[in-house]
Structure 1
Amino acid sequence: MTKTTAILLAAIGATALSACVSTDDALLKTVPFGSGTSQYKPYDFVRCVKEKWKPIAPRVREYSPSSDTLAVSVPSGGVTSQSVVLVIAQASANGTGYTIYGDVAGASRYDAATHTCD
């Protein structure tokens, strides 16, 4: 692999990762439809949410939008990478505090599945 090819592949990867965050920003501007506090630590909470969401939507992604925040989202099935459901999790005194955002009619299924990880 040439140096130019390696740089190009790195740039493509960085763009793909930033697309997850930037398209999820649109959901963060909407009114949340769920929130709560989990007894789990953030990483364990995120792992639990991913397991609960996979039966609803097989494509579930996890990423860290900042140094103290974890996110789990379900990308839309269309050509855009915009997510249809997003949970933002941050460490709290009692475990993990979280907020759920979404723009789909069936978002209540994700909310109910997330609360099983409380």
Structure 2
Amino acid sequence: MRKTIAILSAAIGASALSACVSTDDALLKTVPVGSGTSQFKPYEFVRCVKEKWTPIAGRVREYAPSTDTQAVSIPSGGLTSQSVVLLIAQASANGTGYTIYGDVAVTGRYVAATHACD
């Protein structure tokens, strides 16, 4: 009986953790809603985007999904770590290339705010 309870508890814990895993990967599999190139270097560009997005969303998170990529996202208001808007920025020959993912209905303001950092 204890073994069954332990296995059940582990399964519940694993599924809860998988629900908390960032779903930004899911957004990356969708069609981008915006893109562009900024004259800023990646860190300066991300700082600018955060300044523009914060008045719209309040909570903006920044992280590095890999050594050569910066990301900015707006977490949903729910209990999961799901993001509703995601921006991926990478260094390019002319500064920083970026792509924005999310629901078109939600992201319009974020796309416009991001272009202010071009």
TM-score, length of structure 1 as denominator length: 0.81
Q: List, as ranges, runs of 4+ consecutive aligned residues in structure 1 with deviation greater than 2 Å.
A: none
Aligned to 1:51: 51
Larger Rg: 2
Alpha-carbon separation, structure 2, partners of 1:97 and 1:75: 22
**Is residue 101 of structure 1 aligned with residue 101 of structure 2?**
yes
Q: Do residues 64 (structure 1) and 64 (structure 2) align?
A: yes
Aligned length: 100
5+ unaligned residues in a row in structure 1: which ranges?
1-14
- Identity across aligned pairs (percent)? 80
What CA distance in whole angstroms lies between the structure 2 residues aligned with 1:94 and 1:19?
Answer: 33
CA distance in 2, matches of 1:36, 1:95: 11
For the Cα contact (< 8 Å) 1:85–1:104, is it kept in 2? Answer: no
Q: Which runs of 5+ in 2 are unaligned?
A: 1-16
Deviation at 1:104, TM superposition (A): 5.5
Superposition RMSD in Å:
1.4
Task: Using structure 2 for the length normalisation, give the TM-score.
Answer: 0.81
What do residues 68-91 of structure 1 show as CA deviations (whole Å, max 9, x unaligned)? 000000000011110000000000
Structure with the higher helix share, 1 or 2: 2
Q: Which residue of 2 aligns with 1:81?
A: 81
